Structure 1
């Protein structure tokens, strides 16, 4: 029998375009992740400055243009005066003060629109040029859908504070922040997946990937609990550490004061802050355990270095949280705490993604 060498087929023009597009698509996705990160920080400033209800109408297109004349500004201010927050929180506000809070909310909404365009237009471009791997296309459509959903949830959140209360509903704020965090996590995962493959190394144990994915869920849950604390302004109460209201664990009757009992987890200031503290301890313990497990299972390689860095970031975030609490949530500390939560999430996602690639 005669063996004939059958060479591999030469790469097609489409294959070459996809390969060359890898770095460009990755840069685009990292840029989107950075924009979402900025969106979360600006959203935190909007919340901490009580600016989120300053724009009382949802105008997806025309709302991009702020008031341009003195008459327009006064008309917007009059709209704001009709909601409960004005009379209850800012009864002495003048037009200059209104312009300040309007700026934060308008900037937040404008950034959301820019993120939408920065997602849609490059997606169309890369898709039309055949530079997207087939497996990536539905995931990018999912990112676009998450962005659209986030816009609707944002208005649903704002609407909750226009009548009957002086702030947005904290559970809607939590959903809004969780969606933004999920979008950020997906973008980091996709961007990290496009990294250039390195030389083969021994694959880490599969259990490490399971731990890493569970840790992402824990971080997302803690971000949601933090949003409940922020929505209730619970960080401005019980400003001692490590004790809360004089005890490490408050009495059960105070933690379950409201009826039905489930309301305590979203409406009881003591319970909401207590659960945020306890989950923070659990996340820190998880990060330290993951670091030790990774060291023992995978040695002193890249996986161990990432796990150590992640544990350090979580410890730093815990320290920032404590500082924010005992200082009664100054603006700089609140923003740093929120921004660092996203850094922890991004590192956790990048670590899990690299493990999923067997590195």
Structure 2
């Protein structure tokens, strides 16, 4: 017998679960960043969603995996002569990244089934969660497509555009999780003024765009050039024949180091301006909660800009690049929660008519 729970208890458990999954997604992004920066992403040459969870357990297994890696362009061009011990380090990063992805799937879907059966999830929340589940499956496929792009002849790394899509999809999943979690608050908040709601909604969109552009910078290694600030090797805006040196011109947005880095810089300035104007407006006109949240987002954005400049000037050391990536996830999380709460909150309790999958009669009888 499963008795229906009180509203606050039901909401609190679901909200905690969603934030745990969100934390795991942030960890996944961090490990993924380390995998990329250590050149480990191409060390596993096959996509085995189930059997791949078991790492090599014997020397013969390790030799077989190493032999597969030796057939890749990355090994033959960059890592010729690498020993088995060094390969094990590369393999460990990529295996850990994939294992964490499997763990996220379990932590997401198993509680989802339990909570849904217990009647803790409304129809609207359930549809949102199923959508995130589909997006998570798509993310796994994008990850393999990304890896496969780096296994093509002449390639030593994954394609920048595919890396950016992989990172952005993970960020969308994170934003979706915290949006739904914030909507499960038990208290009631009045909506902010329309212009404050609009600005709060704009910030996560701009941050997602900036994360996508950051993925292009990472994938193309554009952070290893123009390591000066505020200028790019002496000029604020590189000449057009530098920004659009590649033909056809559209490819410059992905493959031209100058334009890729310039776009990332300019969008960062835009995010700073919008965040601070919104914070000032909220402190002058908004309720205290909106003012506090918007100020917090603005402070984090400014800290991220400083960290990004340091990462560039230091020519992208591992610690700075990882910190920059993780802080981006923290900013996206806070901005998304702020946008959701600015709309007002007052969670609707799941009712029998709102339960999916034919559980209406069970809920009505308290079963």
TM-score (norm 2): 0.91
2:362 — aligned with what?
A: none
Structure 1 residue 297: Cα displacement: 2.1
In structure 2, distance between residues paired with 1:335 and 1:272: 19
In structure 1, distance between residues paired with 2:191 and 2:143: 42
In structure 1, distance between residues paired with 2:190 and 2:343: 13
2:252 to 248, 260, 264: 264
**Secondary structure, in 3 states, of the residue corresponding to 1:160?**
helix
Structure 1 residue 134: Cα displacement: 2.0
Structure 1 residue 15: Cα displacement: 5.9
**Contact map agreement 2:70 2:76 (CA 8 A) in 1:** yes
2:322 — aligned with what?
A: 335
Q: Tell me, which stretches of 5 or more residues in structure 2 are unaligned?
A: 347-367
In structure 1, distance between residues paired with 2:165 and 2:76: 27
CA RMSD in angstroms, aligned pairs only: 1.5
1:296 to 279, 284, 303: 284
Structure 1 residue 204: Cα displacement: 2.1
In structure 2, distance between residues paired with 1:295 and 1:17: 36
Structure 1 residue 72: Cα displacement: 0.6
2:144 — aligned with what?
A: 155
Structure 1 residue 20: Cα displacement: 2.9
In structure 2, distance between residues paired with 1:204 and 1:170: 39
1:190 to 180, 184, 197: 180
Structure 1 residue 358: Cα displacement: 5.9
Describe the superposition over 1:51-88 as per-residue Cα deviations: whole angstroms up to 9, x where unpaired.
00000000000000000001111111110011110111
In structure 1, distance between residues paired with 2:199 and 2:333: 16
Looking at both structures, which has the greater relative contact order when contacts are Cα pairs under 8 Å and sequence separation is at least 6? 2
Which structure 2 residues correspond to residues 48-67 of structure 1 after superposition, within 5 A? 48-67=37-56
Q: Tell me, which stretches of 5 or more residues in structure 1 are unaligned?
A: 1-12
Q: Cα gap change, 1:134/1:259 in structure 2, threshold over 3 Å: closer, same or farther? A: same
User: Do structure 1's residue 312 and structure 2's residue 299 form an aligned pair?
Assistant: yes
Which structure 2 residues correspond to residues 1-80 of structure 1 after superposition, within 5 A? 16=5, 19-80=8-69
Number of aligned residue pairs: give it: 344
Describe the superposition over 1:213-267 as per-residue Cα deviations: whole angstroms up to 9, x where unpaired.
1111100000000000000111111111111122110001110100111100000
Structure 1 residue 193: Cα displacement: 1.0
In structure 2, distance between residues paired with 1:34 and 1:109: 16
Structure 1 residue 14: Cα displacement: 7.0
Q: Cα gap change, 1:58/1:250 in structure 2, threshold over 3 Å: closer, same or farther? A: same
User: Do structure 1's residue 120 and structure 2's residue 106 form an aligned pair?
Assistant: no
**Secondary structure, in 3 states, of the residue corresponding to 1:305?**
helix
In structure 1, distance between residues paired with 2:11 and 2:205: 28
Single out whichever of 254-263 and 17-26 deviates more from structure 2.
Answer: 17-26
Structure 1 residue 338: Cα displacement: 0.1
1:246 to 224, 231, 234: 234
